[in-house]
Amino acid sequence: MADALRRGLAAEGFVVDVARDGPSGLEAARFGAYDVVVLDVMLPGMSGYTVVRTLREEGNWVPVLMLSAKDGEYDQADGLDYGADDYLTKPFSFVVLLARLRALVRREPTPRPPTVRVGALALDPSTHEVRLDDVPLALAPREFAVLHELLRAHPAVVSKERLVDAVWGDAGAAEPNIVEVYVGHLRRKLGRQWIETVRGAGYRVVQP
């Protein structure tokens, strides 16, 4: 497939290099000054997840499109959480792949660190770690998910309905008042000053 992609992309005017395992792909992406990287997930030697996460940790923001047979929603979410810009599952349309690559090439590389930070509060969605003043906090899965949504939106306000949709799956899966319970849990663990209630609108993270 790598050779077929190389031939197809070259026919469309791209200059293409192929790396056949994770370590060589990481090395190429570090020093190749590429406009875009197409990255498989299941690579010999090092997974595509590890490759993209390492690049982002090193401050390399080359656009990355992950291409994988792993088509579950959590697989796709993992790829994006690790720092990929797009995720395309196999089997795929070559026309769609070209369109997505062209869109990524047009996009200016911008920092998108996988760790979300507001002041001394840091959340890493790929490892499910939360630290406050560099001290790890133990959060239940839905506490983590609520905090992740609030941090991603910072400094905007997030409605209860949006939080229910993001954490419980859809707006009818749980009562909006359940959000109050989990916000209460988070305030006890973080400190009340970190989450502000905006009456009639929802919640937002604020930096004390």
CATH number, domain at 138?
A: 1.10.10.10
Q: Is residue 33 part of a domain?
A: yes
Residue pair 18/3 in contact (Cβ under 8 Å)? The answer is: yes
**pLDDT value for 174:** 63
Same domain, 95 and 29: yes
Q: Is residue 58 part of a domain?
A: yes
pTM above 0.85, yes or no: no
Same domain, 48 and 12: yes
The beta-strand segments (E) located in the chain are 37-40, 64-68, 86-89, 116-118, 121-124, 129-132, 135-137, 195-198, 202-205
Q: What is the pLDDT of residue 24?
A: 95
Residues of the chain with confidence (pLDDT) below 70: 71, 108-113, 126, 169-174
For residue 106, what pLDDT is reported?
83
Residue 113: predicted pLDDT: 65
pLDDT at residue 105, as a whole number: 86
Residue 111 lies in a domain: no
130 and 99 assigned to the same domain: no
Which of 84, 106, 128 is the last residue in one of the domains? 106
Residue at which a domain ends, from 68, 86, 106: 106
Confidence at residue 111, expressed as pLDDT on a 0 to 100 scale: 62
Output the pLDDT for position 169: 67
Asked if residue 40 belongs to a domain, the reply is yes
Residue 38, strand partner residues? 65
| Residue 111 buriedness (CB in 10 A; 0-12 / 13-18 / 19+) | exposed
The domain total for the chain is 2
Do 94 and 13 share a structural domain?
yes
Q: Give the pLDDT confidence of 22-69 residue by residue, as tens digits.
A: 999 999 999 988 999 999 988 999 999 999 989 988 888 889 999 888
